[in-house]
């Protein structure tokens, strides 16, 4: 397919409209047939959960301040069309590049993401964004914990660990494991291709995240990690949100 149309402006908060047409519409949860081996997550829900978890935060967007909500969703399975209207605030502009990549990785006939024009907004005074010029979100500063990053030697045997000052509660562990799985979905679906690589060729094969010891949660990629290094920033930012929620993080380690 041709590149998805991108008509997003540099404005937050904003309402974002996404429209797609193609066979992938019928592969999305909860509409995928039982025989579908690899159903796609519902796109609007995926975007909202990622934003709320702080995965779309950055140097100028605090991960604990992000808000997102699906305002409206329309599925027309017969026409293979779907549309979402999503409110977004407190995210880094680079998040729009990630969302654009998710669309680019899909087998679609048409795709559009655009800022919804709202009454009172001076759109002629707002600069348009260009996805190919956007950098992936960086790391919020200052970080409230130590960050140890080792440059990679290969595209496998990668890992990220969140180390806590004290053993977290079972509920906190479960929530962080769920966010690791959410982040892995963004990687698997081609959200973070390196420069010059198409989203369809960018992916990762995650091992299940787990509690390595009583104060460490690890997500490893022992087989394959073909994504931009900036992808790790999402979980570093989530760790900052966890820290500010009261579960004290002492260090994040990326290998």
Residue 250 near residue 199, CB atoms below 8 Å: no
pLDDT at 203: 81
Q: Is 146-254 a CATH 1.10.150 domain?
A: no
CATH of domain 5-133: 3.30.70
Which regions in the chain score pLDDT beneath 70? 1, 118-122, 154
The tens digit of pLDDT for each residue in 144-159 reads: 999 999 977 767 789 9
pLDDT at 126: 86
pLDDT at 235: 98
pLDDT at 201: 87
pLDDT at 1: 65
pLDDT at 121: 64
Listed in order, the ranges of the chain carrying CATH 3.30.70 are 5-133, 146-254
Closest CA to 152 of 254, 252, 239, 224: 254
DSSP for 185-225? HHHHTTSSPPTT--GGG-EEEPPPPEEEETTEEEEEESSEE
The tens digit of pLDDT for each residue in 205-235 reads: 999 999 999 999 999 999 999 999 999 999 9
H helices of 53-125, in order, are: 95-104
Three-class DSSP category at 78 = coil
Closest CA to 159 of 221, 215, 233: 221
**Rounded to 5°, angle at Cα 206 from 87 and 99:** 25
Spatial strand order in the sheet of 210-213: 146-149, 249-254, 158-164, 216-221, 210-213
pLDDT at 153: 73
- Alpha-carbon distance 105 to 108, whole Å? 9
* Single pTM value for the model: 0.94
pLDDT at 151: 79
CA atoms in the 13 A half-sphere facing the CB of 221: 25
């Amino acid at each position: 397919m041709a590149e998805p149309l991108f008509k997003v402006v540099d404005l937050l908060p904003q309402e974002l409209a996404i429209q797609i047409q193609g066979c992938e519409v019928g592969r999305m949860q909860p509409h995928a047939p039982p025989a579908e081996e690899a159903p796609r997550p519902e796109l609007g829900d995926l975007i909202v959960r990622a934003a709320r978890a702080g995965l779309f935060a950055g140097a100028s967007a605090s991960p604990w301040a992000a808000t997102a909500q699906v305002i409206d969703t329309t599925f027309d399975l017969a026409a293979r069309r779907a549309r979402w209207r999503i409110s977004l605030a407190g995210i880094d502009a680079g998040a729009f590049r990630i969302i654009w990549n998710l669309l680019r990785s899909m087998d679609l006939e048409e795709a559009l993401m655009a800022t919804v024009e709202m009454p009172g907004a001076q759109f002629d005074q707002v600069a348009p964004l260009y996805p190919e010029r956007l950098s992936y979100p960086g790391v919020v500063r200052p970080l409230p914990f130590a960050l140890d990053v080792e440059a990679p030697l290969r595209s496998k045997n990668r890992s990220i660990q969140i180390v806590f000052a004290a053993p977290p509660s079972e509920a906190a562990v479960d929530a962080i494991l769920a966010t690791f799985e959410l982040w892995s979905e963004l990687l698997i679906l081609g959200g973070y291709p390196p420069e010059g690589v198409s989203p369809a060729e960018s992916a990762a094969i995650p091992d299940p995240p787990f509690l390595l010891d009583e104060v460490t949660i690890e997500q490893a990629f022992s087989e394959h990690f073909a994504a931009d290094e900036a992808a790790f920033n999402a979980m570093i930012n989530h760790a900052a949100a966890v820290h500010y929620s009261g579960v004290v993080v002492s260090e994040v380690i990326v290998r």
